[in-house]
Chain A
Amino acid sequence: MTYRFTWNILWSGQTAGWLLQGVITTLEISAIAWLLALALGLLSGALRTAPALPLRWIGAAYVEFFRNVPLLVWMFFWYFAVPPLLPQVLQDWLLEHGAEFWAGVVALGVYHGARFSEVIRSGIQAIPKTQFEAALSTGLTMVQTYRLIIIPVALRLIVPPATNETLNLLKNSSVALTIGVAELTFQTRQIETYTAKAFEALAAGTMIYLVLCLTIALLMSQIERRTAIPGMIARGTGES
């Protein structure tokens, strides 16, 4: 095996720019998808603990349907299958604003929303039932109880498993390369294609992912320390 390492391809010419663009796109798609996932997860996680049975069913149907199908299939579905069904105005807008990016955001957000939902549900279920009862007895409505009491407490309980899910989302954003989103893995492959230096390109991409994951984990542990409620931490629900 004779392989000549030429590490300087990583910072000479266009390649550094490509990597940087890749990192920015990865962070962009992950951040927007994360917000969508959190919103969907909160909504469906709350629905799954609701007192009315039909509401619980809606929440469970969403989670079970989206969680049990590969993300890659959802990428194809949102990119190839859904846009032709949209109104023409929306199709034109997508065409001008990067349809693959938004399809990727929706695929990641909806898929991970289903997974966030499980984390949030376990957080809500870790809250003693008396909290609900106390809130209701002070005259709050059900929606107010969730919005003002239950969700804020649940969010503080689920930081550790939510960290896991956030990292999964970041890593899964690499699947978006299949529909042509120019994120980090995509750029790594592009560098490989142009320079035929597979090892250097992949090593750079891998290192960047590790650094991103580590940074987010550190950031989240800071948040965890600040928001932790002494004596109450819901752990062990964040397997991927």
Chain B
Amino acid sequence: MDLRVIGDNFGFLIVQGFIGVGAFAGGTLRLAIPAILLGFILGTLIGLARLARSRWIHVPAAVYVEFFRGVPLVMVIFWFWFMIPTIVGKSLPEYSVALTAFVIFEAAYLAEIVRSGIQSVARGQGEAAIATGLTRNQTMRLVILPQALRNMIPALVTQFIVLLKDTSLASIIGYVDLTKAAQIVNNREIRPFELYLFIAVVYWVSSYGMSQLARHCERRMNPSIP
């Protein structure tokens, strides 16, 4: 065990690999945060589409969700990695490919969470809102979604943590995130035990920190939870 390798490369691993500030176009957080935001927006739209009354909207949404939930993320990343150049005509940087793949893949999982969150709101709420004269859109936006969001928080946070961990797979196509940064350092220093254990701890602290933060927020929003 020789922890000097961590100290010597701390800047590269954390500032470049984890946060994403530096000469390379990389960074775990720089990929994870936009992926979470965009994935949540797309996921909400697809989740709502699954609840639409028209068959032409809810069937494609269901197919989308079931398709992406049945395929490994690695496969989806390769799809975008190989097919975007064919479709667009030129190759895109790893960052764009990875971001697109994560947003589209995670949206399928987030859509399910949004759908079950909306379905968990008592039926009477929607009916009462309609009865007061709100339109269907207003009911959704002002009455259902705010309550649904609160019910969804635990599952959403779990999924965001999954996404944060999943971004490590972007290293497969050469994106310099924390995992790739550790690989790069390891190729030079040959200290796998220290390096991989160190990044495991970094991932652990951020994932566990996120879950604790969510618990704290949940308790503040809903004092009845012990």
Are the C-beta atoms of A69 and B75 separated by less than 8 Å?
Answer: no
Contact with A along B27-58 (1 / 0, CB 8 A): 00000000000000000000000000000000
Q: Which residue of A lies closest to B164 (CB)?
A: A70
What is the count of residue pairs linking A and B with beta-carbon distances less than 8 angstroms? 116
Interface check B203, CB cutoff 8 A: yes
Q: Which residues of A have CB within 8 Å of B204?
A: 65, 68-69
Are the C-beta atoms of A68 and B72 separated by less than 8 Å?
Answer: no
Tell me the complex Cα distance, A201–B225, Å.
Answer: 50
Tell me the complex Cα distance, A171–B105, Å.
Answer: 13
Q: Which residue of B lies closest to A201 (CB)?
A: B82
- Beyond A71-B165, A239-B155, A240-B109, whether A209 also contacts B75 by CB under 8 A is yes
Are the C-beta atoms of B71 and A206 separated by less than 8 Å?
Answer: yes
- Beyond A64-B208, A69-B165, A202-B82, whether A185 also contacts B197 by CB under 8 A is no
Are the C-beta atoms of A73 and B168 separated by less than 8 Å?
Answer: yes
Are the C-beta atoms of B71 and A210 separated by less than 8 Å?
Answer: yes
Q: Which residue of A lies closest to B194 (CB)?
A: A81
- Beyond A80-B192, A174-B72, A175-B169, whether A73 also contacts B200 by CB under 8 A is yes
Interface check B193, CB cutoff 8 A: yes
- Chain A interface residue count: which class? 35 or more
**Interface of A (DSSP majority class):** helix
Tell me the complex Cα distance, A76–B207, Å.
Answer: 19
- Beyond A68-B204, A210-B67, whether A80 also contacts B87 by CB under 8 A is no
Q: Which residues of B have CB within 8 Å of A1?
A: 86-87, 89
Are the C-beta atoms of A202 and B79 separated by less than 8 Å?
Answer: yes
User: Which of A72, A173, A174, A240 has the most C-beta atoms of chain B within 10 angstroms of its own C-beta?
Assistant: A72
- Chain B interface residue count: which class? 35 or more
User: Which of A167, A202, A209 has the most C-beta atoms of chain B within 10 angstroms of its own C-beta?
Assistant: A202
Are the C-beta atoms of A70 and B168 separated by less than 8 Å?
Answer: yes
Taking the closest CB of chain A, its distance from the CB of B170, in whole angstroms, is: 10
Contact with B along A154-185 (1 / 0, CB 8 A): 00000000000001000111110110000001
Tell me the complex Cα distance, A84–B172, Å.
Answer: 24
21 example contacts (A-B, Cβ-Cβ < 8 A) are as follows: A1-B89, A68-B165, A68-B208, A71-B165, A81-B196, A81-B197, A82-B193, A84-B192, A85-B193, A174-B73, A188-B75, A188-B78, A199-B82, A199-B86, A202-B83, A205-B75, A206-B79, A209-B75, A210-B67, A214-B70, A239-B159
